[in-house]
Structure 1
């Protein structure tokens, strides 16, 4: 009994010291310390134990559950911006839609969130709170409090929200780099509108890309098209997918909840599942917490993500891709293009180089690169190891911000050496940049840069800014290609294919 009493007193003193240290070091407003620095103070007295050896989940579940909250969102009945029948379109896209199709926006929906600080910062998924008119958080003590969005990012599907409350329970952040395949994990959240639910499983895979974020952003919005028409700047697909895969049961409603190791340390934010039925079949995906830390700190500091870019487009190598490119290497990232004015260009990278390592870590697939760069900011330097002419070389690349990189896209898209107007169509065209083609996932195309009133494109209401990929079945990459393809009609019919704000299209014009 005496020993137990001493342990209780020691634990009390350690906890009091941690809370006192947090209060002492917490700056006014709580914004100067990063989330990780605050965590270091909050959990200063906690011993570090390898989670792979733990088999009893009782303590982990008890420590995490109070800090995982239920998020309820509401929407206006006429919200035209909502993509489908629920904020879980991310799930439904991967399921195959569950047969519901496109519906009017929901009046209410729910998800999960994880409390990061005692003063009410909560991480969740972007798709849980995106376009919500009202966000309510139900705490573990059953209090219902309103939340506001601090920042959200569709490229990682992360969001940071804030409630006005104090002395809230907090989940300890772990290190997702140390996660091992086969390690036991718990998923904690509010699936299917149930109360707090804990499920167990193992880590099935790491650095998994499932294509769900890229698919949801494949087509730009009308606002992006309007911006393109004004400035010539078209955003690229900057989604980062490097999920932790688990067979712990995750269902709709778990979105934004915690994936923790057996020590109760947060290693991921649950985001999606793979299923044909809409419920768990053993494939769940979580955003690594090490990526989330940087994104969340940016939200709190700037309200948005300050993302750094290398400035290359690339193809992940495997046996099939290597055969297509006529090269011997089957691992690494093959550089297909280097953005003019980017850090990659300044560092001497060229088309045809094969990126083998980033910061000394071997790169096997695109998620390996994207997650590591996703944790960095503009101005940071990263060492790349690449293969050129059979020799490994090292270079340091200074990452540039989105505006710096995007500013190079305008000349690539808008520049048109001959600015030829095709009389029959009443339109002018410019070669599409590599970045724009990557955004649309097409191999070729020209951008419509001008429309003549009263002519065919005008009468068919084909707008400026759309991408024309082929004419009469022939791929087009320049105004000359358009001119050469026009005579190849069938029965006097001109067939024009492309992609625009509403998706792919084909017109048959007499």
Structure 2
């Protein structure tokens, strides 16, 4: 096994350096994370939503929803240091020049004492974060925590007076075709409002990648600078955080995507309470059911999730789900795609009980499933997915600490099988006992320095790898 890294190490590390450098240069940002602990956390305001729509276009009036929202949307400034082009003198002397860069976006005030939600990509790698309110007052912001895979970040500012804030709505109840407003604060021009309708739900922008997404799609205009802004309903209540657009030009062409408010709220509450996101899982793997797959499997349904495998010891196994079942509903929410499923499960905590409707051999059945803790996390800086070790794996690898590599991601996925025989025991000489330790070590490092991994395989051999 040692020969795996000796023969392929140069290729893997060369790729890691190239990918990391590309990200570092193009994103113009630098890592800086601060987890704040506060025993008395504010309760996020949630509204029961009425979805009675106007009978005609003549009755549509956005003024009330806009007035409730504009003063709660802020301008976010990300100050960072990036690599500058090298001069001939820099090359000759082996210097790496740096320069200050500024990125901007929007954010949404969600509590009167200054908690603000925005996109992770708006503040990623920031050395300093500033927030400008709609009244043009500027404050320094503290980064409470982030969830990169969902592109959500939580900030905190301290002000003299209570702030206007947006109330959360239940995004599960959002209906396709209803009106929505996108509110952002781009380029520090004060808040701007655009209108559109909900075009779709449960959108995954790239089903081929390793990140499961479940966006709300709208045709309300969202342009650069609006990332992290609010998507609200006609009552001025938050139904999503504007995150992405689908465009070949980089500007709005009719497709905008927002993280549903239920997902954002769950992430925010976890960051406030734990400093990290507590992820749960149903405990199945499978695929979307469609007409061709249904014909191939010989089933009479063309919508839902076809269960391929059930994770041993998971809530799904205890709930008697098994391979071949077709899940069509969870918690009263219709499930047509895996994006629907992951979007719903992402709003739940480990220990929550959900009602699952499924079909087996053509018969409709129901069961109750406990959401169990999912300790598997992705580390983009390493292009790896890892999880905590269980007792059997600790005996196998003869270690008391470490995290198990479950697969390699991205361009390194072809090495996944070989890397699954390794555990990471140290990062930059810091012992790693859990995925939380690993994530913290990566986030707290100096981004201008490399990441030294110490890994051990099942044969007892250690490897040291430097990732830049």
TM range (shorter): 0.5 to 0.7
The answer for the alignment partner of 1:253 in structure 2 is 225
SS at match of 1:171: coil
Q: Is the 8 A contact 2:136 2:190 kept in 1?
A: no
SS at match of 2:276: coil
Q: For residues 317 and 78 of structure 1, do their structure 2 counterparts lie closer, same or farther at Cα, with a shift above 3 Å needed?
A: same
Runs of 5+ consecutive residues of structure 2 not aligned to the other structure: 1-37, 85-97, 378-386, 398-403, 423-452, 457-464
Write the distance in 2 (CA, Å) between the matches of 1:264 and 1:287: 17
CA drift at 1:402: 2.3
1:109 to 81, 103, 125: 103
The answer for the alignment partner of 1:368 in structure 2 is 340
1:4-23 → structure 2 map (5 Å cutoff) = none
RMSD over aligned Cα, in angstroms?
3.8
1:89-488 → structure 2 map (5 Å cutoff) = 107-165=101-159, 166-191=161-186, 194-211=189-206, 215=209, 218=210, 237=211, 239=212, 241-323=213-295, 325=297, 327-403=299-375, 406-407=387-388, 436=407, 446-448=417-419
What's the CA shift string for 1:62-87, capped at 9, x where partnerless? Answer: 221111000000112249xxxxxxxx
CA drift at 1:442: 7.1
Write the distance in 1 (CA, Å) between the matches of 2:298 and 2:196: 42
CA drift at 1:340: 2.4
The answer for the alignment partner of 1:35 in structure 2 is 44
SS at match of 1:376: coil
CA drift at 1:313: 1.3
Q: For residues 284 and 162 of structure 1, do their structure 2 counterparts lie closer, same or farther at Cα, with a shift above 3 Å needed?
A: same
Higher deviation after alignment, 324-333 or 200-209: 324-333
CA drift at 1:142: 1.1
Q: For residues 52 and 245 of structure 1, do their structure 2 counterparts lie closer, same or farther at Cα, with a shift above 3 Å needed?
A: farther
Q: Is the 8 A contact 1:116 1:122 kept in 2?
A: yes
More strand per residue: 1 or 2?
2
- Normalization by structure 1: what TM-score? 0.63
CA drift at 1:392: 2.6
Write the distance in 1 (CA, Å) between the matches of 2:99 and 2:343: 32
Q: Is the 8 A contact 1:51 1:263 kept in 2?
A: no
Q: Is the 8 A contact 1:450 1:464 kept in 2?
A: no
Q: For residues 360 and 340 of structure 1, do their structure 2 counterparts lie closer, same or farther at Cα, with a shift above 3 Å needed?
A: same
Q: Is the 8 A contact 1:449 1:464 kept in 2?
A: no
Structure with higher Rg: it is: 1
Q: For residues 313 and 436 of structure 1, do their structure 2 counterparts lie closer, same or farther at Cα, with a shift above 3 Å needed?
A: farther
Write the distance in 2 (CA, Å) between the matches of 1:439 and 1:312: 23
CA drift at 1:317: 1.0
Write the distance in 1 (CA, Å) between the matches of 2:466 and 2:296: 31
Higher deviation after alignment, 253-262 or 288-297: 288-297
What's the CA shift string for 1:269-322, capped at 9, x where partnerless? Answer: 101000000000000011111222221111111111112111211111112333
Q: For residues 254 and 309 of structure 1, do their structure 2 counterparts lie closer, same or farther at Cα, with a shift above 3 Å needed?
A: same
Higher deviation after alignment, 274-283 or 388-397: 388-397
SS at match of 2:372: coil
Q: Is the 8 A contact 1:447 1:465 kept in 2?
A: no
Q: For residues 60 and 362 of structure 1, do their structure 2 counterparts lie closer, same or farther at Cα, with a shift above 3 Å needed?
A: closer
Write the distance in 2 (CA, Å) between the matches of 1:372 and 1:450: 32
SS at match of 2:122: helix
Runs of 5+ consecutive residues of structure 1 not aligned to the other structure: 1-28, 80-103, 219-236, 417-431, 452-462, 467-499, 503-510
CA drift at 1:211: 2.4
* Residues paired across the two proteins, number: 363
Write the distance in 1 (CA, Å) between the matches of 2:310 and 2:237: 40
CA drift at 1:325: 4.7
